[in-house]
Amino acid sequence: METRAQKRTRLEEQEGKIQNNKTKQDIEIIVNEIKMDDPGIISELEDISRNLQYEKNNKEFKQMEMHYGSGCNIM
């Protein structure tokens, strides 16, 4: 038998999943509209994403270097 608290928690989780799915669908719709309007913008966004990932990795490496010393080797 499910208690009220368990039922409420289960319903909240289901509602959260539904909202996440709607958000994902909304994002996909927007991306598809952008692709139709300006296909070149997708490659620009991919370049920006790559640059941000590179900067993030570089920042993490510098933090590790500061923590372990400048002569650290990552294998």
**SS3 per residue for the chain:** CCCHHHHHHHHHHHHHHHHHHHHHHHHHHHHHHHHHHCCHHHHHHHHHHHHHHHHHHHHHHHHHHHHHCCCCCCC
Q: pTM above 0.85?
A: no
- 64's CB contacts (< 8 A; 6+ apart) are 72, 74
Q: Which sequence spans correspond to the domains of the chain?
A: 1-37, 39-75
pLDDT digits (tens), the chain, 75 positions: 778 888 888 888 888 777 777 788 888 888 788 777 777 777 888 888 899 999 988 888 888 877 777 655 555
